[in-house]
Amino acid sequence: MKRLGFALLLICSLGISLAQVSLQPVFSLPKARALGFSADSSKLFTYVVEGYYIQPPVPMSRFEVSADGQLKLLDTVTESKLALAVSPEGYLLRLEGGVCRWDTALNNYACNMSGATISPDGRLLALTNRYGYVQVWDVTSGQRIRTLLMDDWRIERAAFSRDSRLLAVCQASGTVVYRVSDWAVLARLGRPDPMRGYMPSGNCTVGGLAFTPDSKRLVIASTGAPVGIWNLESGRLECMLKRLTDRDGRVRDPRRVAVTADGKHVAVTDAGQNLILYDLQTGRVVAKLEDAGYNLLVSPTLPLIVTEKFGDTPEKDALLGFIIR
């Protein structure tokens, strides 16, 4: 059984076959960055950064998104506080001076935080920090309902499953998956390692977490290793996605990862700003674009991928949209 598992892992790691899948550009917004989609993908929220640093006031825009990925500007407001996340209803989590406040649904609580993620059903908000715990808040009542104490002080990223039943939290020694109903630990996952298949601990930075639509697998992007696809039922590394060589002949580390709305593909951006699309079932590369960007966002319902491209100067930064054909 161990030999069979290693063989499957190796086949997935080596599979490269560009299939009849394309990434068609549909929009480009200069100097813009993405906040998020509404739950039905009908709206995209963005903000504009002037220069190298984010300085208030910040122009934030709301776009209507068509079925083919085209954008129509609805409105733009200039805010003194930067929004970090968007709830399914379009509420914004804002940041000012390192203190966050929920301006609409929550009761204006304040917290020191390093990241925020909202459950797809809009009920829960998970806040990560550099103090070794995760706060989970009820969006409707504005009450903190859970504090998850982690093994390490360095908490890098958190993500909910699409059905909002699971929460994955990545820390320095690996990723922990919780069941939201009772906050039981369902799985403890190590970090992928290209030589040994996986290693249970390490201090490389995780750039992305993404559940598959059926919540049975978790995709993890770590620097220093290929993207790993983990089976949550067995707690084992199921597949590693091969890193590709860019135009300079260098193998780049993955930066961000996402699973497309239909669950068929894994989208990965790397340190060379390449966008790579993998077949989730086979692990094979089906499309690749160079100079597409670092940060990555996928539409909840459309075959639409959004990336943030960073140019040589801030004036060359852009928010790019691609439809999967």
CA distance 240 to 5: 12
pLDDT at 186: 93
CA distance 16 to 306: 24
Q: What are the phi and psi torsion angles at 315 (to 5°)?
A: -65, -20
Long-range contacts of 142-145 (CB under 8 A, 24+ apart): 142/102, 142/105, 142/106, 142/107, 142/108, 142/109, 144/109
Residue type, 79: E
Residue-wise pLDDT tens digits, 143-194: 788 999 888 777 778 999 999 999 999 887 789 999 999 999 999 987 655 5
If you search the block for the tokens 């060359």, which residue do you land on? 316
- Per-residue tokens: 211: 């559940």
pLDDT at 99: 35
Residue-wise pLDDT tens digits, 76-92: 877 655 555 555 555 55
Angle among Cα 251, 252, 257 to the nearest 5 degrees reads 130
Query: How many secondary structure helices (H) and strands (E) does the chain include?
Result: 1, 29
Give the pLDDT of the chain (325 residues) as one tens digit per residue: 444 344 444 446 455 555 578 999 999 999 998 888 887 888 898 888 776 666 667 788 889 999 999 999 998 877 655 555 555 555 555 443 333 444 433 433 444 566 778 888 888 888 887 778 888 988 777 778 899 988 877 777 899 999 999 999 988 778 999 999 999 999 998 765 555 555 544 445 677 899 999 999 999 988 777 899 999 999 888 888 988 777 777 888 888 999 999 999 999 999 889 999 999 999 999 999 999 998 899 999 999 999 999 888 878 899 999 999 9
Distances (CA, A) of 203 to 163, 171, 175, 302: 30, 9, 12, 35
Coil/strand/helix, residue 13: helix
What domains, with CATH codes, occur in the chain?
Answer: 2-324 (2.130.10.10)
Q: Are residues 202 and 210 in contact, defined by beta-carbon separation less than 8 angstroms?
A: no
